[in-house]
Amino acid sequence: MYLKDGCSLLLKVQKPSIPFLLNKRNPIPDLKPYLETNKNNLDEHVVVKNLRKESDISSALSYFKHISNSNSFRHTPVTYRIMVQKLGKHGDLDGVQYLMQQMKLEGVNCSEELFVDLINYYKVMGLAEQALKMFYRIRDFDCKPTVKIYNHVLDALLAENRFRMINPLYSNMKKDGVEPNVFTYNVLLKALCKNGRVDGARKLLKEMSNKGCAPDDVSYTTIVSSLCKNGKVREAKELADSFAPVVPVYNALISGYCRDCNFVEVFSLLNEMVEKGVDANDISYTIVINALSDAGMVELSMAVLGKMFLRGCEPNIYTFSSLIKGFFSRGRLHEGCDVWNRMVSKGVVPNTVAYNILIHGLCSNSSMVEAVSLLQEMEKRRRLPNVTTYSTLIDGFAKLKDLIGASEIWNRMIRNGCQPNVVAYTCMVDALCRVEMFDQAQDLIESMMQEKCTPNTFTFNTFIKGLCHGGRVDWAMKAFNSMGRYGCLPDTTTFNEILDGLFKSNCFEEAFGIFREMEKVEIKWNLTTCNTTMYGFCQLGRFKEAMLVLGRMLRKGTEPDIITFNTLIDAYCQHGDIKRAIQLMDGMKKTGEWRPDFVSYTSLIRGFCKRNDTDNTTKFLQRMMDEGFVPNITTWDILVRTSFSKSGCFYQELINELDMVTG
């Protein structure tokens, strides 16, 4: 694909080749330095020392095999474990299996520690089922299942949510006469909670106590946290009150109340912690600061930060990141940057997430030069940018219709070996659509399929919106109808974009057809759907149908907004029913929820101008200014271009007013 001014997109992701450990270019290293002069009498500590200091896996394995084949040393459980650890950390589980078989053949006992290592390697590789199969062969290696081994197998199954395998293994544990410990119960509690069985977890908590295994902080935190996540914060608090709560339990409760935006209870908990002598930690304060920032209460967040300092608790990178994000979300870029500078001055090293937050804030403020300089700073400090970093920058350039800037970031991402995801592709589609390069945008969507990155509904919504705004509604309809071929289903936003495009292109019948299809496939309406459809009906003077849409919206509990009222006011004025428009405006004011704005008054003035009603035009123009809405060029243009221009005196007054406003 080629862009304007010779700027091209590098669509292919170059994957570096990974050489094999052993090949002609990478021969087995010289083993002489490892072979002692007295080959028939190698001590275990010498072999252990040589194996441990060798960082190259192929060299270590060659040495391991060589001394065994030369009969200079008979491997022990210790040397086997070291080699298993090296292969396991390298991810070579086939090599581990080979060594385990050798141990079996040589009659070398497999220790509990080695078996735990092996299970953990399977867990890291996401092979819990293989770990379970290996566990059932444990006796073949002259190793007895212990509570520690059982615990690690259970934990591996839990990590992959293999709930159906956990209970049979626990039953097998009882049959083997292995007594569960607190670690065992904690794994089972987590499994029950993750599976939505919190009541079962509470029963198990009692079983623990009855069997003389006292629950620990992890046990209580697991259940309290699960209850809070399920919206049962009050129940969680009652449970917490039944034992001596610790910081993790309080943090779970604080998180639960923050999720409900119940900040009264949050601050009550913080006070309770002080009264009970439990010191809130950086996690406690960060949870509160993050919740307050998300709720737009950044001043209160800063107050909590101050309290945090007074309590001698140092904020972490997540604390500062939450504050910065809070300021940026309120459009307060300067204060967000101040927090960033304060963070850096305190020696807190920004991570990739923190950089992404700052870059997003700068991009939202169209400060692209500063955002790109931050990208360069990340690279210098070896804080590798990720796909979110690049996507944010591409999106920032797209909103400025700067395709060159967007494509340069795209190419930089590809050159740095960062694989674009669906978000990055969608941002690039948006950048192309904003400069009406629709052919290239469609080519990019096709390229996604070739790169095994399937476009989603948001991708198509972006493409369809761009087409509609560019007046290519016919193409937008083709894109709309082709979504199923990509496995995408249109959502409310998709229908809204199509409806808006069709109405603005005066394709009213096609728009009403889409509206009926929306009802047929049971796509949920939102306020935008209602306003867009009402606009279409009003443009045709079909007020009854527009009011039916409004009535249905109200019955479904969707509150109208100023756009809803302005759509009706403008429609009444355009069709000569100014009296009803005024009644609607007065009704808005009486409710106290909405008040007429600049658009409302401009519609009325346009209506009076069409009727050559000089008195009411002057009256509402004055009323508009009395309510603090200064007429702009649009208002004056309506006045000047109407029949009032025939009145020389009034016309001259309008010109004078226009000159004052426009300077």
pLDDT digits (tens, 9 = 90+) for 51-72: 888 888 888 888 888 888 887 7
Q: pLDDT tier at 37 (50, 70, 90 boundaries)? A: very low
Residue 460, pLDDT > 70, answer yes
Instruction: Name which of 504, 500, 430 is nearest 460 in CA terms.
Output: 430
Chain centroid, CA 57 distance in Å: 38
* Radius of gyration of the chain measured on its C-alpha atoms: 35
Give the rounded percent of residues in the chain with a pLDDT score beyond 90: 33
Ordered alpha helix ranges (H), 211-351: 217-229, 233-240, 247-259, 263-275, 282-294, 298-310, 317-329, 333-345
Q: How far is CA 99 from CA 61, 96, 602, in A?
A: 10, 5, 84
Residue 264, pLDDT > 70, answer yes
Three-class SS state of 168? helix
pLDDT attached to residue 302: 93
Q: In this structure, how many other beta carbons lie within 10 angstroms of the beta carbon of residue 124?
A: 13
* Dist CA 571 CA 552 (whole Å): 19
Residue 340, pLDDT > 70, answer yes
pLDDT attached to residue 41: 67
- What is the DSSP annotation of 284-301? HHHHHHHHHHHTT-HHHH
**Range with top average pLDDT, 321-325, 345-349, 551-555, 621-625:** 321-325
Please, are residues 219 and 191 in contact by the beta-carbon 8 Å criterion?
no
CA distance from start to end of the chain: 47
Please, are residues 56 and 29 in contact by the beta-carbon 8 Å criterion?
yes
Residue 40, pLDDT > 80, answer no
Instruction: Name which of 384, 377, 409, 414 is nearest 394 in CA terms.
Output: 409
In this structure, of 22-31, 159-168, 413-422, 546-555, the range with the lowest mean pLDDT score is 22-31
* Dist CA 607 CA 413 (whole Å): 54
Largest CA distance in the chain: 120
pLDDT attached to residue 119: 87
Residue 645, pLDDT > 80, answer no
Please, are residues 546 and 518 in contact by the beta-carbon 8 Å criterion?
no
Q: pLDDT tier at 653 (50, 70, 90 boundaries)? A: low
In this structure, of 173-187, 393-407, 410-424, 557-571, the range with the lowest mean pLDDT score is 557-571
Residue 25, pLDDT > 60, answer no
Please, are residues 258 and 294 in contact by the beta-carbon 8 Å criterion?
no
Residue 142, pLDDT > 60, answer yes
Residue 318, pLDDT > 70, answer yes
How buried is residue 94: exposed, middle or buried, by Cβ count under 10 Å (0-12/13-18/19+)? Answer: exposed
- Orientation of helix 387-399 relative to helix 403-415, angle to 10°: 170
* Dist CA 99 CA 80 (whole Å): 7
Please, are residues 222 and 189 in contact by the beta-carbon 8 Å criterion?
yes
Q: pLDDT tier at 100 (50, 70, 90 boundaries)? A: confident
| This model's pTM is above 0.75 | no
* Dist CA 552 CA 549 (whole Å): 5
Mean pLDDT across the chain: 84
pLDDT attached to residue 355: 95
Phi, psi of 221 (to 5 degrees): -60, -40
* Dist CA 616 CA 606 (whole Å): 11
Please, are residues 530 and 549 in contact by the beta-carbon 8 Å criterion?
yes
How buried is residue 13: exposed, middle or buried, by Cβ count under 10 Å (0-12/13-18/19+)? Answer: middle
Q: pLDDT tier at 516 (50, 70, 90 boundaries)? A: confident
- Average pLDDT on 616-621 reads 80
What's the half-sphere exposure (Cβ side, CA atoms, 13 Å) at 658?
15
Contacts of 369 (CB under 8 A, 6+ apart): none
pLDDT tens string 482-515: 998 888 999 999 999 999 999 888 888 888 888 8
pLDDT attached to residue 641: 63
**Range with top average pLDDT, 11-15, 469-473, 609-613, 637-641:** 469-473
- Orientation of helix 562-574 relative to helix 543-555, angle to 10°: 170
* Dist CA 582 CA 572 (whole Å): 9
Q: In this structure, how many other beta carbons lie within 10 angstroms of the beta carbon of residue 7?
A: 16
Residues belonging to the chain: 663
**Range with top average pLDDT, 198-212, 388-402, 501-515:** 388-402
Q: Residue holding tokens 């092996």?
A: 118
Q: pLDDT tier at 107 (50, 70, 90 boundaries)? A: confident
Please, are residues 207 and 174 in contact by the beta-carbon 8 Å criterion?
no
Tell how many helices (H) and how many strands (E) occur in the chain. Answer: 36, 0
What's the half-sphere exposure (Cβ side, CA atoms, 13 Å) at 427?
24
Please, are residues 166 and 158 in contact by the beta-carbon 8 Å criterion?
yes
Phi, psi of 368 (to 5 degrees): -75, -30
Ordered alpha helix ranges (H), 540-662: 543-555, 562-574, 578-591, 598-610, 614-626, 633-640, 648-662
pLDDT attached to residue 640: 67
Give the rounded percent of residues in the chain with a pLDDT score beyond 70: 89
Residue 204, pLDDT > 60, answer yes
Residue 570, pLDDT > 60, answer yes
In degrees, rounded to 5, the angle at the alpha carbon of residue 176 between the alpha carbons of residues 171 and 182 is 65
